[in-house]
Structure formats: structure tokens, C-alpha cells
A = this chain, B = another copy of it.
Amino acid sequence: MCRPLSARCAESRMNHRHGYNARMSRIQALYHLTADSASIEGRAQALAAEQSIEMPPAAVTNAYVRNEVIATIEGIQPLDTHRFAVMLGIATVTTGMEAGQLMNMLFGNCSLQDDVTLVDVSFPDDFVAAFPGPRFGLAGIRERVGAHGRALTMTALKPQGLGADALASLCGTFARAGLDIIKDDHGIANQHYAPFAARVQACQRALREANALTGGRSVYAPSISGGPRQIAEQLKIVREEGVGMVLLCPMLLGVGSLVEMATENLGVALLAHPAMAGAARIAPPLLLGRLFRLFGADATVFPNYGGRFSYSPETCLALADAARLPWHGLRPIAPVPAGGMSVARVPEMLSVYGEDTILLIGGALLSAGAELYERSCDFVNAVAATAQSGGGV
């Protein structure tokens, strides 16, 4: 699942049966399909129709649609006796250059078909240029928090149910300990016990006081939620309060919201959270790495291996590659492995991910109780020590 796309594309091109339609710019979308050798050709043709014109191709009379708009089959390869890799060529014009419509063309209807997974995509350069991509990227986040030559540290304000003042107190403690980024837990939205406006004001105040004390440049990343109107109201508060970063769940808000936030260039870094993203049968490196980067995320949270979630080490590394490796000239973004991490695992995680990473430890810090400040300092120092010893990649 996690081999580089370039290798896959090369394989596919060598093996293609239907020819590449050079007349129109196409997205190459790689699917895995459950089928047998007798049925795969027909199944691939059905998928190509489903993900483009959604009607029988024989009934299409318009020449432009027949020649340009219908998805092409660019390659079929057996994976084993009951699974095949199928590369479709999806015309870029069918996306209208919109993120939601891109998701729709890649996986909208076939999400309803159990025999299909979306494994990888390859975009033409001019298609990528139509999307904002990350405004900050990892380098911009480094600048903002003043962290160079080492990994970055992040924690989460939780649990939800605490009031704005209690969350702000936690925020201040974390900032005094020198954490780079202090984000809302993704379950913190606009609940009555800590409404967005009051929470952001209180946390930003605590952050400013702590930064003044330490000379540090920690940032607070509140969680954005709701429909378009509420999102706009929250972003207004974000600007007024001088917030440095925000957290959002693209699969809950809609990927179009992420694109508009990046396009409007709000001056805040965008931290994407994978809530509701994992259930989709879309390869995590593609969705959380490549596509969220294309849509404008500057950092992407994902479940690290060995925690509470089920991603393999291979999936996690492929995801980090998708976030950071050169790709169409878009800024590298920060992989943020998370989910049941601990200070004890810092050296291991840095040896795996290297310093161009944001380490997120939440619950394990909060479990320190009265020693929250000390445990937070341990985290900061563990990362700093690894940098000083020349650890990481």
C-alpha cells in the first residue's frame, strides 16, 4: 500500500491496455478491486463510468464527453488471485478544481461499493497549481515558534468539560514548560462549558503571559467547528486574538473549508486532524498526507503505531513521506504522530521520524497530575537532548 506512487505509475504505464489519452489533463487514480480474472475488465470499466459520467458509456452521444470526460483505464495488474490494481485516468476538468469535487470524483460513489479501495493518486503539475497548498508548511511553523535544529513539541488541552479558565491554566503551564504548540483536544468545540470566544481569549492571555515570562514563542491552536457561518465567526475571533495556529477536522468541516482557509491566507498555520477520516477506504498516506497537504494543511495529525490505533509502522512512515517529501513544489508539512504517546518513547519516535516532525503527547502529560509542569519539561528536554546529541535523521 505504501510503495512510492512513482514506481506504481511506472509499472502501470508499462502494462497499460487502453492507452493514455494525451488530449486532456488527467489524474491517475490507483484503486484496488476485489474481482477474478474473468470479471476484472468489466469491473474496471464499470468503475471508470461510475467515477466520471455515472451512466452507461454506450448511451453517451456527445463526442467531447466520449473522448475526454469518461475516465480511462490506464492499467490493470493482478495483485493476487482475487485482487487487482486498476489505474484510472480521471479528467482534471471534472473536478472543477474544487477539493470536495475532487474527493467526489476519486471516491464519492465507489465509497458505497465494498470491493474498492483508493490507494494512491498522481496529479499533473497544473492541477496542483490550482490548489492553495500549505501556506506555512513545517518551515513556517518552525519560524513561528522559533524552533530550529530539533523536532517540535505539541500537547493538547483536555479533557473537555473543563471551563475556559481551567483550560487556560493548563495552557499557561504547558507554555511555561516550553511546549511549542498547545492545541485544543479535537473534542473541544463550542460547548457551553468553554465556549470558543471565552476559551480563546483566556488561553491566548495565559499564553502571552507565559511567553513574556520565558521569552518563548509557544502558540495555542484552538479547534474550529460548525457550519460555514460559525466557522467564519470563529476565524474572526482567531484574527482578533492574534492566534498563531488552528486545529480543524477536514472530514467533518468539509475539505472545501480547509481550502478556503488556506486560500484566504489568514496568517494562521492549519493543523489537520484525522477525525472521521479513518473509516474511509482511502489509504491514510494519500488522504492524511498528500491530499490534506494539497488542500492547504501545514501539519497533519495521525495515529502513531504502537498506540491506541491500528496503523502499521509502514503506513505511518509512508504518511510522513507523503507529508514531507518534495511534491509538485508544495511546501513540506509536519507529520504529527499521536495517540497514546509518552515521554519515554521520544527517542524511539525521533529515531524513526527524524527532527522534521512534531511530537504530540497529550494524556500522558496530563496523567502527571500535580507534576504536570515537571512532566512537560521532561518532554521538552527529551526532545532538546536528542537534538543536542545529534539524534534524529
Contacts and interface: CB of A to CB of B under 8 A. Distances in A.
Given A65-B161, A249-B108, A308-B46, A228 B225 contact: no
Given A227-B99, A227-B257, A256-B230, A158 B53 contact: yes
Contact of A227 (B50, B254, B274, B339): B254
A276 interface: yes
A250 B160 CA distance: 26
Contact of A254 (B101, B190, B252, B279): B252
Interface of A: 46, 50, 52-56, 58-62, 64-65, 68-70, 93-96, 98-101, 103-105, 107-109, 111-115, 156, 158-162, 166, 185-187, 189-193, 225-232, 249, 252-260, 274-282, 303, 308-311, 339, 362-363, 366-367, 369
The 4 nearest A-B residue pairs measured at CB: A227-B256, A254-B254, A112-B278, A228-B228
A101 B225 contact: yes
B256 A108 contact: no
Contacts of A367: 55-56, 58-59
Given A46-B308, A252-B256, A279-B282, 10 more contacts: A50-B308, A55-B362, A59-B367, A94-B160, A98-B226, A108-B276, A112-B310, A227-B257, A227-B260, A253-B256
Given A53-B161, A279-B107, A309-B113, A59 B369 contact: yes
Contact of A69 (B46, B53, B160, B189): B160
Contact of A252 (B159, B255, B308): B255
A310 B93 CA distance: 29
A312 B256 CA distance: 32
A154 to B, nearest CB: 15
A248 to B, nearest CB: 10
Contact of A96 (B53, B101, B225, B303): B225
B228 A257 contact: yes
A228 B252 contact: no
A98 B367 CA distance: 29
Nearest to A46: B308
B227 A259 contact: yes
27 contacts: A53-B161, A54-B156, A54-B159, A55-B366, A56-B367, A62-B159, A62-B161, A70-B159, A93-B193, A96-B192, A96-B225, A98-B225, A100-B249, A103-B252, A104-B186, A108-B187, A112-B274, A112-B278, A112-B309, A112-B310, A112-B311, A113-B278, A115-B310, A227-B260, A228-B260, A253-B256, A279-B281
